[in-house]
Amino acid sequence: MADRWLHRLLWLSAMLAALVLGGIVVLLIGRTAPFIAQQGMELLARQWYPGDGEFGMAAMIAGSLAVAVLALVLAAPLAVALAAWLRYFAPGWLRRPALALFALMAGIPSVVYGLWGLLVLVPWINGWVPPGASWLAGSLVLALMILPLALLVTDAALAQVPPDWLHAGAALALSRVGMLRRVVLPHTAPAIASGVVLQFGRALGETMAVLMVCGNVVQWPGSVFEPVRTLTANIALEMSYAAGDHRIALFASGLLLMLVTMALLALSWRLGRRHHGTA
């Protein structure tokens, strides 16, 4: 009886969440469709001078991707290596406190990472290659932000590895590195990838931390030491001052972000399912 009610409640809240999400997408499409139709390829071909009616977003789309991809390239291997090290190589007493620490890190609000980036990282890069606020700074802050969850996801995936294989490996005197490379990681790769793709979505959607450290100059990402502006930072910087087409253009970039994030979610879900299929 209680079960049925709980089931209904869960179903209802799931429907509600889907409805709200769908509503937002519909609203965004409704508000932006005429604008997108009217601008067409201009949205990619032109530059971003909203004051002059130029709403080219290509550089910022590239900026968003560049910052998130580099963050992932930095964070994902490190997360996997750390998780594997903690589970298979580190002294036994270290694992639990370390995981607790990462869980704690995962709970820190992103502005705090942004603040750290602004106060510590940016001046440090500035002393090395000015201006400091840059693609690299953004990616490093994002990497630090997504590292904990990527690590926890990897650890959870490693926990799913049947211990029988590890026993077999030990009895055959196989090196732990060899076991990781040939058995453990290939087997857990889909689950890890699923988690990493989710973190990529998070990196793409992050706003405040990126706004604080990226420099926010609208330009194609060239050198990692040069500033870039992401779509999210652009929305945060300009939305409160934007009117008319400028505002609609920001809505359109929001819609784009939302669709990309949803596609990433779907991808993550499929990867996760594939993992279950084989295990």
Partner 1 sequence: MKQPPTLELDDVHVRYGEHAAIAHASFRVESGEIMALVGPSGCGKSSLLAGINRLTDTIPGCTTRGTITLDGSPLGQWPDAASLRRTVGMVFQQPNPFPLSIHDNLRFPLAEHGVPRRERDERAEQALRSVGLWEEVHNRLGRSALTLSGGQQQRLCMARALVLEPEVLLLDEPCSALDPMASAAVEELIDSLRGRYTILMVTHNLAQARRLADQVTVCWVDNDCGCVVETGGREQIFTRGRHPVTRAYCAGECG
Partner 2 sequence: MTRLIAMAVLSLGLAGCGQGGDKLVVTGSSTLAPVITEVAERFEKDTGIEVDVQSGGSGRGINDVRQGLADIGMVSRALDASEKDLDPVVVARDGIAMIVNADNPVDAITRAEVRALYRGETDNWQALGWTERPVTVINKSSGRATLTRFVEYFGLDNRNVEADMVIGENQQGIQAVASAPAAIGYVSVGAAEYEAGAGTAIRLLELDGVAASTSTVGAGRYPLGRDLNLITTGQRSAMVQRFLDFARSDEVADLYRKHYFVPARG
* Residues near partner 1 (CB under 8 A): 92, 162, 164-165, 167-175, 178, 182-183, 186-187, 278
Please say which residue, 55 or 102, places its beta carbon nearer to partner 2. 55
Shortest distance, position 100 Cβ to partner 1, whole Å: 19
164 burial level (CB within 10 Å; 0-12, 13-18, 19+): exposed
Please say which residue, 93 or 241, places its beta carbon nearer to partner 1. 93
Please say which residue, 40 or 277, places its beta carbon nearer to partner 1. 277
Shortest distance, position 187 Cβ to partner 1, whole Å: 5
Shortest distance, position 238 Cβ to partner 2, whole Å: 5
Shortest distance, position 274 Cβ to partner 2, whole Å: 42
Shortest distance, position 10 Cβ to partner 1, whole Å: 35
The entry of partner 1, partner 2, none that residue 5 binds, CB within 5 to 8 Å by partner kind: none
Please say which residue, 19 or 168, places its beta carbon nearer to partner 1. 168
Please say which residue, 218 or 258, places its beta carbon nearer to partner 2. 218
Axis crossing angle, helix 244-278 with helix 185-205, rounded to the nearest 10:
170
The entry of partner 2, partner 1, none that residue 50 binds, CB within 5 to 8 Å by partner kind: partner 2
Q: Do 147 and 196 touch, CB atoms closer than 8 A?
A: no
**Distance between CA 43 and CA 73 in Å, rounded?**
29
The entry of partner 1, partner 2, none that residue 167 binds, CB within 5 to 8 Å by partner kind: partner 1
Give how far Cα 15 sits from Cα of 8, 23, 268, Å. 10, 12, 21
**Distance between CA 68 and CA 233 in Å, rounded?**
13
Please say which residue, 98 or 237, places its beta carbon nearer to partner 2. 237
The entry of partner 2, partner 1, none that residue 175 binds, CB within 5 to 8 Å by partner kind: partner 1
User: What is the contact surface with partner 2 in residues (CB under 8 A)?
Assistant: 49-52, 118-119, 122-123, 126-127, 130-133, 211-212, 215-218, 227, 229, 236-238, 240-243, 246
Shortest distance, position 169 Cβ to partner 1, whole Å: 8
**Distance between CA 125 and CA 275 in Å, rounded?**
40
Please say which residue, 5 or 241, places its beta carbon nearer to partner 2. 241
